[in-house]
């Protein structure tokens, strides 16, 4: 099985603070309650699984196909009592009608057959239970660093790093703009009471200056390792990061959609 590989380091950096403005919305939307059995599929390093475990005293399981991220997830999730197991979303090794909530964050956008994955997620969900997915709309990314020529150059180079990641996922059949398509996908899969919320994951320099830089540099480093960006561009980016004055108005925002549906 071929899939886009993510390092635990990248996942932890990019998920840091991702939900901080939206936790009440998330918890309320997912109808979380103590005692529930919850599965987070494609859990990666477990950043989202830990958010669920922090709210619910129940049985929380994270599943992923990749051994390396699972190893990191077990270490990072030790204090939360989460169980992390290796499963392929297309063949989840759980009985029918088992979980109160089956959820994923940035998984369906990585897959060649999201509708098939969704069917398998629905199979292991209890009748009247919920399936919920958080997925991006990359076509709507808003990026503004500033009008100074060196900042415009930096924004351009950073975009190229992101385009490389997107092309890699596309080549594997993924769709990083799947977010707004999910309500239809959910409805067609037989889910009912389908509901959706959209929000912007905002990196605003005035607020997240340090974190934002770490996030961008991490992504850029990986882009060079994967051959999406040349070493010369990488060095230019480092130079621009070092020499540019921080712009307190800089913003980068990614639209995300969270969709849920109830099993009949």
Ligand X SMILES: C[S@@+](CC[C@H](N)C(=O)[O-])C[C@H]1O[C@@H](n2cnc3c(N)ncnc32)[C@H](O)[C@@H]1O
List of residues contacting ligand X (CB under 6 A): 1, 3, 6, 11, 15, 41-44, 47-48, 64-66, 69, 88-90, 105-107, 110
Residue 236 Cα to chain centre, angstroms: 28
- Which is closer to ligand X, CB of 165 or CB of 263? 165
- Which is closer to ligand X, CB of 65 or CB of 151? 65
- Which is closer to ligand X, CB of 43 or CB of 154? 43
Instruction: Quote the least distance from Cβ 248 to ligand X, whole Å.
Output: 28
- Which is closer to ligand X, CB of 88 or CB of 153? 88
SS (H, E, C) the chain: CCCCCCCHHHHHHHHCCCCCCCHHHHHHHCCCCCCCEEEEECCCCCHHHHHHHHHCCCEEEEEECCHHHHHHHHHHCHHHCCEEEECECCECCCCCCCEEEEEEECCHHHCCCHHHHHHHHHHCEEEEEEEEEEEECHHHCEEECCCCHHHHHHHHHHHHHHHHHHHHHHHCCCCCCCHHHHHHHHHHCCCEEEEEEEEEEEEEHHHHHHHHHHHHHHHHHHHHHCCCCCHHHHHHHHHHHHHCCCCCCCEEEEEEEEEEEECC
Instruction: Quote the least distance from Cβ 120 to ligand X, whole Å.
Output: 9
- Which is closer to ligand X, CB of 56 or CB of 154? 56
Instruction: Quote the least distance from Cβ 47 to ligand X, whole Å.
Output: 5
Query: Looking at beta carbons, which residue is closest to ligand X?
Result: 44
- Which is closer to ligand X, CB of 40 or CB of 154? 40
Decide if 101 contacts 133 (C-beta within 8 A).
no
Instruction: Quote the least distance from Cβ 193 to ligand X, whole Å.
Output: 24
Instruction: Quote the least distance from Cβ 149 to ligand X, whole Å.
Output: 33
Instruction: Quote the least distance from Cβ 74 to ligand X, whole Å.
Output: 14
Instruction: Quote the least distance from Cβ 71 to ligand X, whole Å.
Output: 12
**Per DSSP, what are the bridge partners of residue 251?**
144, 204
- Which is closer to ligand X, CB of 145 or CB of 175? 175
């Amino acid at each position: 099985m071929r899939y886009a590989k993510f390092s635990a380091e990248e996942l932890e950096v990019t998920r840091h603070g991702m939900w901080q403005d939206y936790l009440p919305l998330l918890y309320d939307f997912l109808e979380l309650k103590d005692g529930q059995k919850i599965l987070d599929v494609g859990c990666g390093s477990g950043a989202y699984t830990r958010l669920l475990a922090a709210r619910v005293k129940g049985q929380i399981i994270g599943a992923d196909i990749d051994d390396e991220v699972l190893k990191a997830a077990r270490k990072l999730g030790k204090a939360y009592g989460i169980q992390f197991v290796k499963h392929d979303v297309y063949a989840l090794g759980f009985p029918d009608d088992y979980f109160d909530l089956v959820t994923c964050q940035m998984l369906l956008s990585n897959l060649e057959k999201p509708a098939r994955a969704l069917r398998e997620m629905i199979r292991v969900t209890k009748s009247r239970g919920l399936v919920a997915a958080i997925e991006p709309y990359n076509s709507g990314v808003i990026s503004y660093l500033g009008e100074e020529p060196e900042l415009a150059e930096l924004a351009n180079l950073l975009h190229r790093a992101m385009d490389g990641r997107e092309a890699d996922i596309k080549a594997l059949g993924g769709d990083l703009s799947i977010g707004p398509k999910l309500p239809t996908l959910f409805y067609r899969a037989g889910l009912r009471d389908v509901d959706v919320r959209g929000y912007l994951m905002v990196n605003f320099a005035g607020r997240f200056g340090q974190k934002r830089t770490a996030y961008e540099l991490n992504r850029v480093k990986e882009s060079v390792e994967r051959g999406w960006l040349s070493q010369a561009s990488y060095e230019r980016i480092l130079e621009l990061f070092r020499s540019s004055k921080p712009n307190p108005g800089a913003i980068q925002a990614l639209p995300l959609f969270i969709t849920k549906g109830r099993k009949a």
